[in-house]
Amino acid sequence: MLKLENITVLYDGKVLAVDNVNLEVKQGEFVGIIGSSGSGKSSLLKTINLLVRPYKGKVLVDNVDVTGLSNSQLRSIRKSIGFVFQDYNLIDRSTVIDNVLVGRLGYKSSFKSIFGIFSDEDYERASTALRQVGLSEKMFERADQLSGGQKQRVAIAKTLCQRPKIILADEPVSSLDVSTSQTIMDYFKKVNEKKNITIMINLHDVNLAKKYCRRIIGLKNGKVVYDGSAGDLRDELLEAIYL
Ligand SMILES: Nc1ncnc2c1ncn2[C@@H]1O[C@H](COP(=O)(O)OP(=O)(O)OP(=O)(O)O)[C@@H](O)[C@H]1O
């Protein structure tokens, strides 16, 4: 469902963040991306939905090269790709339900999205998504009144509302304590297993990656230096990624 061909990311014409990466990810995979700070994890993830444009290479989503699409065509592809950020990316002063409804905007005409006009079906989907992350009772609270873990669950609900085929998550637990991180990872696991949504997740914490991700990709200086199962990731291979 997802193929990266020779992806290279170059910032300001000189910083080589991703160096000729080739990857294939099948529907329903749970992939963890690990590597030292600056190894290119974030840049790689962001090229998949073109938050960062690759300098070279192709991103194929269901065999369509998204790098060649116009903005309106891209809008339709982006509906199928959810993105979860480290800092939650919520509208603090809005309610939880209004934040989750943002996930429906990709399905609205520009007129309806500007005026925030949502149908009963949109509200139904938003409340279902909140139920899936165990936050129904917080629906009408303001987002800035939630804990970090709850905010990240709202962000996941927002993404689920989009009905994505794939969720990309960029360090989604690095601001959270150990037990809240596990809760969030459990939600990603549930979404992956119950809905067959592909998950690609950048993680600082190798132990979390090994516990949750069936496949691990190790990046070093923008190159893939490991691509295999969590079980095969022995200490000497980890050293090669991090040292
Ligand atoms: N917008 C940018 N402009 C210029 N250089 C950038 C930009 N974003 C990232 N870089 C550089 O690209 C390289 C890869 O950064 P990236 O953020 O992708 O790595 P990372 O593995 O996600 O790091 P971290 O774990 O610290 O978030 C680094 O050298 C970084 O300084």
pLDDT of residue 78: 84
Q: Is 114 in the pocket of ligand 1 (CB under 6 A)?
A: no
pLDDT of residue 45: 97
> Does pTM top 0.90 for this prediction?
yes
How many CB atoms lie under 10 A from the CB of residue 232?
Answer: 9
Q: How far is the CA of 193 from the centre of ligand 1 (A)?
A: 31
Distance, in Å, from the CA atom of 39 to the CA atom of 37, rounded to the nearest integer, reads 6
Whether the CB-CB separation of 213 and 205 falls below 8 Å is answered with no
For the question of an ipTM over 0.90, the answer is: yes
Whether the CB-CB separation of 197 and 166 falls below 8 Å is answered with yes
Whether the CB-CB separation of 54 and 18 falls below 8 Å is answered with yes
Where do the domains of the chain lie, and which CATH numbers do they carry? 1-80+197-243 (3.40.50.300)
Mutate which of 14, 33, 41 for ligand 1? The one with the most ligand atoms within 8 Å of its CB, which is: 41
Whether the CB-CB separation of 127 and 101 falls below 8 Å is answered with no
Mutate which of 7, 19, 33, 39 for ligand 1? The one with the most ligand atoms within 8 Å of its CB, which is: 39
Distance, in Å, from the CA atom of 181 to the CA atom of 205, rounded to the nearest integer, reads 10
Q: How far is the CA of 28 from the centre of ligand 1 (A)?
A: 28
Distance, in Å, from the CA atom of 208 to the CA atom of 196, rounded to the nearest integer, reads 20
For residue 44, give the ligand 1 atom closest to its CA. 18
Whether the CB-CB separation of 51 and 74 falls below 8 Å is answered with no
- pLDDT tens sequence for the chain (243 residues): 899 999 999 999 999 999 999 999 999 999 999 999 999 999 999 999 999 999 999 999 999 999 988 887 888 888 899 999 999 999 999 999 999 999 988 876 666 666 667 889 999 999 999 999 999 999 999 999 999 999 999 999 999 999 999 999 999 999 999 999 999 999 999 999 999 999 999 999 999 999 999 999 999 999 999 999 999 999 999 999 998
Question: Can you say how many angstroms the Cα of residue 7 is from the centroid of all Cα atoms in its chain?
Answer: 18
- From residue 16, give the alpha-carbon distance in Å to each of 44, 147, 176, 202, 210: 11, 37, 30, 19, 28
Whether the CB-CB separation of 77 and 2 falls below 8 Å is answered with no
pLDDT of residue 126: 95
Q: Is 40 in the pocket of ligand 1 (CB under 6 A)?
A: yes
